[in-house]
């Protein structure tokens, strides 16, 4: 039974880690969603969503998130409709057999900034901007990795030659990255007046991308706790029943 509990705890409470990326010098930070009882910080996620829209969305897509999913961040139905209406999505064909553009509705997914991969590469010197929906899960130590990547653009050592179109990043594997530095501080003016330093914005983005990668994380953790409590109680009842049933035999 102890082995079973350990296995279940590992499955329910640990986040999958993939081998992509890695390397570099990672910074450590505290995150509200860490641990078996961790929860999302909705205020930070809303700020991260704003930062994504104003800083990241020009190059990076969010293909797996629909506008209606923003309800998890605390937005109401009217706010979600208003946000969706700011975007246009392709639809059709119409009666003439042609595709057309229309205002997005809550059921639509966030439209990509480029029509296809070739267009994305052409606009970024051959580099392909990744979709950010699952980026948190696609890197080891996802939270610290993303936070470090966003805040580790520094001057390259004097002996190192940085090729044209590349940038030095202390947290990136190999240190050479094609993405220009995205955050400089005061890149976003938050409606709640929160800190808008590069470090603070990076943390808000990490909170947002933790949610896009696993919107059901809080439900999973609550379910895991309930299952473990049930198994502990069941183990106690089973042990008590065993002692009662075999009491006379032992005598």
Instruction: Judge if 191 and 80 occupy the same domain.
Output: no
Of the residues 57, 78, 109, which one is the last residue of a structural domain?
Answer: 109
Instruction: Judge if 84 and 169 occupy the same domain.
Output: no
Instruction: Judge if 93 and 179 occupy the same domain.
Output: no
Residue 141: name the closest of 165, 173, 111 by CA: 173
pLDDT per residue of the chain (251 residues) written in tens, 0 to 9? 444 334 333 333 333 333 334 457 899 999 999 998 899 999 999 999 999 999 999 999 999 999 999 999 999 999 999 999 999 999 999 999 999 999 999 999 999 999 999 999 999 999 999 999 999 999 889 999 999 999 999 999 999 999 999 999 999 999 999 999 999 999 999 989 999 999 999 999 999 999 999 999 988 888 887 888 888 898 888 888 888 888 777 65
Strand locations in the chain (E) = 88-91, 100-103, 167-168, 176-177
Counted domains in the chain: 2
Instruction: Judge if 204 and 98 occupy the same domain.
Output: no
For residue 231, with 0-12 CB atoms within 10 Å meaning exposed, 13-18 middle and 19 or more buried, which class applies?
A: middle
Instruction: Judge if 149 and 202 occupy the same domain.
Output: yes
Instruction: Judge if 183 and 91 occupy the same domain.
Output: no
Instruction: Judge if 55 and 71 occupy the same domain.
Output: no
Instruction: Judge if 127 and 169 occupy the same domain.
Output: yes
Range of the domain at 79: 66-109
Instruction: Judge if 101 and 164 occupy the same domain.
Output: no
Instruction: Judge if 100 and 220 occupy the same domain.
Output: no
Of the residues 109, 139, 166, which one is the last residue of a structural domain?
Answer: 109
Instruction: Judge if 98 and 29 occupy the same domain.
Output: no
Strands 100-103 and 167-168: unpaired
């Amino acid at each position: 039974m102890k082995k079973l509990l350990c296995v279940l705890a590992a499955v329910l409470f640990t986040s999958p880690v993939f081998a992509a990326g890695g390397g570099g010098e990672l910074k450590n930070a505290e995150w509200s969603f860490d641990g078996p009882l961790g929860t999302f910080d909705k205020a930070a996620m809303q700020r991260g969503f704003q930062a994504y829209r104003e800083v990241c969305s020009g190059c990076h897509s969010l293909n797996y998130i629909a506008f209606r999913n923003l309800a998890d961040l605390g937005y109401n139905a009217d706010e979600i409709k208003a946000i969706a209406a700011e975007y246009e999505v392709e639809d059709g064909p119409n009666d003439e057999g042609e595709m057309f553009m229309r205002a997005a509705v809550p059921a639509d997914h966030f439209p990509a900034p480029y029509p296809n991969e070739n267009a994305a590469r052409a606009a970024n010197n051959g580099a392909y901007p990744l979709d950010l929906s699952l980026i948190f899960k696609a890197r080891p130590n996802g939270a610290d990795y993303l936070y470090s990547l966003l805040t580790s653009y520094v001057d390259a050592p004097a002996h190192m030659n940085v090729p044209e179109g590349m940038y030095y990043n202390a947290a990136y594997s190999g240190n050479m990255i094609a993405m220009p530095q995205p955050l400089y501080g005061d890149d976003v003016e938050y409606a709640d007046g929160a800190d808008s330093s590069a470090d603070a914005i990076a943390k808000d983005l990490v909170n947002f991308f933790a949610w896009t990668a696993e919107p059901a994380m809080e439900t999973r953790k609550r379910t895991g706790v309930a299952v473990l409590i049930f198994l502990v109680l069941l183990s106690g009842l089973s042990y008590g029943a065993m002692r009662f049933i075999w009491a006379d035999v032992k005598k």
